[in-house]
Structure 1
Amino acid sequence: MKIKHMRRALLCSASAMTLAMTSTVAVAQDASDEDGFLGLLVLGNNKRDVQTDTATPETVINAEEIQDRQASSIAELIDSVPGVALVNSGTPTGAGINIRGHGADGTYGANQKVQIQIDGASVGSEELYRIGTQLSTDPELYREVSVIRGTVGSFEYGSGVIGGIVKLDTINASDLTEGQMGLAGRQTLSYHGNSGARISSTILGWQPTENLEFLFNYTYREQDDYTDGDGNVVANTASEVSSLLLKGKYSFGDNADQSLTLSWNESTSDEKDVPYDAFAGNSVFGNVDRLTESKTAVLEYAYNPVGNDLLDLTATLSYADQYIEQEQVSGIPFGIQDADHRYETTKLTVKNASLFQAFGVKHNLRAGVEVLRKERLNAASAPGGTDKRLAFFAVDEIDFDNGLTVTPALRYERQNIEASNDGTNIRAGQDFDNSALMGGLSTRYEFQSGFALFGSVAYTAGFPVIDDVDYTHYPILMTQTEKAVTYELGASYDRVGVFASDDTLMAKVNFWQTRLWDYTSSGSNFMDFDQQDTKGVELEASYSHASGFYVDMNANISSGHWSKFAIPTPNRYLQRYDGMPTNNLELTLGKKFNDRLDVSWEGEFYKRFEATPGFAVHNLRASYQIDTGYLKEAKLRVGVDNLFDKQYQTHLATRPAPGRNIKVSLSAAF
């Protein structure tokens, strides 16, 4: 189904939209049918809430879903979010995150168009040649993962965000102790049959007093090469990752209205005799021994005095250190295989949230300042340098108390970027200054029926990156910001008692369109086109009934193209942009029995993308809470991914996906 046809079906009127959202029947065409797409079912799931109370396209994955999915990496955990696609998966360093066609592209594993933050620290967005996300952290360390798609919700977090933001929040000790003094913990042991993955996660929370808490988390994950649906071993997919989280929090002041939180997050991936090209998994560039270390330290001060709505202050000082050590073991020397990469990011963010009333309306104003310094080691294919930034931002959520909410947002950012080493085209110490004002406006109107309409427009500017300082065209690359404007329009529905008095339906549909110009991300090829246009529609829905029955659905339909003025005629010609996620639908049907047993089926349906065939994959999940009488909780989880051992390869991947994979985990909490 083409996007324009989908638009016609979903934007008829408010009443038609409500009818579509309460429909209980869906018909799906064969995903391998090149001419058709999929009939859509808009129902929902009580595991993942749809964020219907905001105009921002955001998806939140909570701790329960993180444990249920048993994902091998953060990338695999979020690939069920509409608009998110992976450039490969299966290994921590071989996967790249792509959101709405931006981010990982198969050449680079990341860029600033998709930003990743761990407890507020900026990590894993460097453009390193044919190396993945550099996000070798383990999902077991996190209590919540949020994905904000597009630009409109990004101004508190960074500039140049076109694809989106992935926010990771680490586990707190109070999540285990539930605020009670004493020691609590959870031990999880897991096994994945396809790759022989062995996972152990140990979490301890200690609260010696009401105002003091400590957390320890150590997770070890090791796997062999996996097999695809045809039973063939996919070489170079083995991995070994260890992750450590240490965290402490001290609350003090009147009514414990102040707190200091300190955390240390460290992950190490050690790979031996693997292809330098982490994406393709072949030996064109030879093989290397690669050690990847990610370290993040965060110190946060919070002050929220009781009875003072004008003051809710947080000051966050973070340090992120990503280090990749490589040593060539085979192949023709290209000068990149022995390169060691290191980039250290120090950031201070101070912001305050104020609730007040002015001019007859309510305001929720979040404003702050951010200072960032990034230092990058000079290496072959990755020039070194220093990127210093100063930013001011403000987001004001204005509530007119009649169902209408208007949210303007502004961000001003200034950059100084300096080369640290002499290069072919640039001298050490040469620097460049850039600045930009960016912002957006979103509006949302909620009817008493639970139906809401929303829309937004957002403009952002992406600053030059250190990677571009040594291209021939550096005078342009280092002084020109990438610019993008995104328009969004959508509707949501959130109501209890739709088909029965004890059911809940939440649904959200979002149309978006982005225009990107002054493109510089392709380095020396930045002059190949004038503009990039992408557009799509994203749907999320969840339905749950008191009987325990639930349904989850999300879908993505998107497309994109490059454009350039033809010479000598002034006509514009178009070229398809192949970096977009494949049109897909995911549907889950499940049932909970007596709050102890939870069983579900999940179907993933993908449309053909040019030469990449469409496919359908079926997954099963079950969790059972064991009553031991002396443990706080004991739970057995069993999952089967790719139940029918389907042979397939996603559009952005360069290697086949895993075949049938049986996952088993046992956790015990005390």
Structure 2
Amino acid sequence: MNAQPAMRAALLSSAALIIALPAKAQETFQLDTVFLAESKREVATETAVAETTVDLEEIEDRQADTIAELVDTVPGVRLINGNTAQGSGINIRGFGANGTYGTDQKVAVQTDGASVGSEELYRIGTQLYTDPELYKEVNVIRGIAGTFEYGSGIIGGLIRAETKDAIDITGGDTGFNLRQTAQYGTNGDQFASSTILAWQPTENFGVIGNYTYRMQDILVDGSGNPINAQSASLPSYHVGALYTFGDANQHELRATYSDTTSSEEDVPYDSFGLSSGSFGNVDREVQSRTATLRYSFDSPTTDLVNITANLSYADQQIDSAYIPGSSPLEGTPTFGSLLPLVDADHRYETTKRTVKNQALFATGSVQHDLRVGVESIYKERLDASSAPGGTDRRLAVFAVDDLTWGGLTVTPAVRYEHQRVGGPAYAYYDNDALMGGVTARYGFGSSGFAIFGSAAYTENLPIMDDLTNPAYMKQSEKARSFEIGTSFDRPSVFASGDQLSLKASGYQTSVWDVTSYTTAAMGPITDVSLRGFELEGSYSTASGFYTDINANVQRGTGKDAIGTKMDWSGIPADQTRLTLGKRFGEEYDFSWEAVADSSMSRSATPTPSSVVHNLRATYRPQERALNGVEFRLGVENLFDLDYTPHLATRPAPGRTFKISIAATF
């Protein structure tokens, strides 16, 4: 497929449309205030939780092709083939995706509160089929601490993405606003068009519609070799409404619906690989639908009542049809066992209801921020040869309380969860778990220094994938973690108007009664022990210079039933990421980023060291005729390095020039 002329024509047409906008339409657009003394990303020094937020400005700056590419800049987060939606996965602190499954159920992903992309489907990625253009914020929590409000068994980490609202486009002003974005990438003729229509009839009510079409041809690595087998397209759309009402706007109602589809023809069933191998090829159709309804009431008369009720439904369907003659094993007895795996349809639907209340009060000199909630989850999955079907019903209650006394904040958290899981072709099992933890942070006043730590315990209750193994259905995976660190956050450190933020932490995670992992050398793994160090930092000056840095170093071992140890294969390579940039008022932003991975020899598939350079430039004209237009240019893998990131099963893309044009009018 060669769509390059069509893509370039579409890009130029979008640019012409934007430049030709009438001045009257542009007069309603207002740029968000750009503060010179800020970096690309804020360091969360105010919390003891290992937490990072990627905001809308960074999302647009990254020009990401997949939602996974938005979070790979967070320390401790690594992608497996993250440049394509098919066959990609997310690994956090050594858990999540691996070369066999897109997930190990220890990393959770939620969009607008709905749980998505979490099934262990053989040789199929994380099923996180959605587009980055739909989102205004992605929050990443690493480790166990801080996750008890959102689920159980979250050992590696949690990703929470929030879709855009009309107010994010209109700025709260009444009327219609249209935002059009066109993006083109040279490697693989990547093209994306995003059209957002926001209507704000009143200050209290807004409606948004977003249609994004993304496509790419064959990507190549630094040596010019193909990375993906076929071209792919990923159309997505999102609609939402936000309404606040009441004398003090104490009521809020928010509804969203997102739909993403992906269609591939004659591609390897093994989405982690490039060739058909013994599995052969398939036609694969994927559709991911998510609907949410949220109501909140913030009492204007008391701080004890701030209720949020959230109803979500996620429906993910993956249909694969085997291409006759594509497997070299066709006609052999072995292929008879492979065909049901390859020629299979998967569908899983998750309905979740969460009601929680936030109460602010004081007991003596101690201030409380108490969240108490109840959650019910109902998951139903279609029966397939490689993925047993059935139902998983859960009921959970949780409580989290931030107790603040002067510079000290202590947060105990507890969650109880009951499960009934089974299927018509299998038995039903009842399980329950009590889990929880505590975090603490002490800030030393105006010095900017703080120390923090946490201890947490969670359980990963049995999953439907193990219904064929009754021994596993009464055994939850158990994990505990400890973390300790320090932070610094203060303005005017070296010069007037500058800002320095640093956060460093060490962590240790142990998992036992493991049912998820088996290696060829050791057989089933029963225990995993990991330890690591993470660093986040940013520095900016009043003149517009800024720098961001983050780093992650991790080590770990796995142990089998007789106590034999081996290096844990899920650990990523040690990495340091450095960004240097300069803003010139509200108009220009230039940055250079270097990503350095150390060599990784503690694995059966070692990888050499690598240093990748990326450049980004943003231009926001301030002239009246172009006010509201944004131009972005990026160069990824500047020196066309041929490398394969550790944990990935395919090489990374070679040098890619990206250009995007966006305007709101």
Normalising by structure 1, what TM-score? 0.89
Q: Could you tell me whether the CA contact under 8 Å between 1:226 and 1:237 is conserved in 2?
A: no
Counterpart CA distance in 2 for 1:184 and 1:630 is 17
Could you say what secondary structure the match of 1:626 adopts? coil
- Alignment of 1:106 onto 2:99: yes
Counterpart CA distance in 2 for 1:47 and 1:238 is 33
Match of 2:3 in 1: none
- Alignment of 1:537 onto 2:533: yes
Q: State percent identity of aligned pairs.
A: 52
Match of 1:370 in 2: 375
RMSD of Structure 2 on Structure 1 (CA) = 1.5
Match of 1:580 in 2: 571
Post-superposition CA distance 1:645-667 (Å, at most 9, x none): 10100111111111100000000
Post-superposition CA distance 1:583-640 (Å, at most 9, x none): 0000000000122110010000000012211100111000000235256510100000
Post-superposition CA distance 1:390-439 (Å, at most 9, x none): 000010000012x011000000000000123x3xxxx4xx2000000000
Counterpart CA distance in 2 for 1:48 and 1:626 is 23
Match of 2:276 in 1: 283
Match of 1:558 in 2: 554
- Alignment of 1:415 onto 2:419: yes
Match of 1:295 among 289, 294, 300: 289
Match of 1:468 in 2: 466
Could you say what secondary structure the match of 1:478 adopts? helix
Counterpart CA distance in 2 for 1:90 and 1:510 is 29
- Alignment of 1:481 onto 2:472: no
Q: Could you tell me whether the CA contact under 8 Å between 2:190 and 2:216 is conserved in 1?
A: yes
Counterpart CA distance in 2 for 1:395 and 1:267 is 34
Q: Could you tell me whether the CA contact under 8 Å between 1:631 and 1:669 is conserved in 2?
A: no
Aligned length: 611
- Alignment of 1:490 onto 2:485: yes
Match of 2:384 in 1: 379
Match of 1:396 in 2: 401
Counterpart CA distance in 2 for 1:524 and 1:553 is 35
- Alignment of 1:505 onto 2:500: yes
Counterpart CA distance in 2 for 1:321 and 1:50 is 34
Judge which range, 54-63 or 208-217, deviates more: 208-217
In structure 1, runs of 5+ residues without a counterpart are: 1-43, 567-571
Q: Could you tell me whether the CA contact under 8 Å between 1:91 and 1:237 is conserved in 2?
A: no
Post-superposition CA distance 1:18-55 (Å, at most 9, x none): xxxxxxxxxxxxxxxxxxxxxxxxxx961100000000
Could you say what secondary structure the match of 2:465 adopts? helix
Match of 1:657 in 2: 652
Deviation at 1:260, TM superposition (A): 1.2
1:308-319 to 2 correspondence within 5 Å?
308-319=302-313
Counterpart CA distance in 2 for 1:133 and 1:615 is 26
Deviation at 1:524, TM superposition (A): 11
Deviation at 1:237, TM superposition (A): 5.5
Q: Could you tell me whether the CA contact under 8 Å between 1:91 and 1:238 is conserved in 2?
A: no
Match of 1:120 in 2: 113
Counterpart CA distance in 2 for 1:530 and 1:89 is 29
Deviation at 1:360, TM superposition (A): 2.9
| Amino acid across the alignment from 1:440 | G
Q: 1:491 to 1:320 in 2, by over 3 A?
A: same
Deviation at 1:565, TM superposition (A): 6.2
| Amino acid across the alignment from 1:434 | N
Deviation at 1:90, TM superposition (A): 2.3
Q: Could you tell me whether the CA contact under 8 Å between 2:518 and 2:524 is conserved in 1?
A: no
Could you say what secondary structure the match of 1:256 adopts? coil
| Amino acid across the alignment from 2:568 | Y
| Amino acid across the alignment from 2:58 | E
Counterpart CA distance in 1 for 2:409 and 2:82 is 40
Deviation at 1:314, TM superposition (A): 0.5
Q: Could you tell me whether the CA contact under 8 Å between 1:194 and 1:227 is conserved in 2?
A: yes
- Alignment of 1:63 onto 2:72: no
Post-superposition CA distance 1:194-253 (Å, at most 9, x none): 110110000111011222110000100000011111122334153210110000122222
Could you say what secondary structure the match of 1:608 adopts? coil
Match of 2:234 in 1: 241
Q: 1:340 to 1:565 in 2, by over 3 A?
A: closer
Deviation at 1:281, TM superposition (A): 2.5
| Amino acid across the alignment from 1:596 | E
Match of 1:546 in 2: 542
Counterpart CA distance in 1 for 2:204 and 2:592 is 43
1:139-178 to 2 correspondence within 5 Å?
139-178=132-171
| Amino acid across the alignment from 2:659 | V
Counterpart CA distance in 2 for 1:217 and 1:176 is 11
- Alignment of 1:360 onto 2:365: yes
1:85-96 to 2 correspondence within 5 Å?
85-96=78-89
In structure 2, runs of 5+ residues without a counterpart are: 1-36
Counterpart CA distance in 2 for 1:131 and 1:394 is 36
Counterpart CA distance in 1 for 2:552 and 2:238 is 35
| Amino acid across the alignment from 2:590 | V
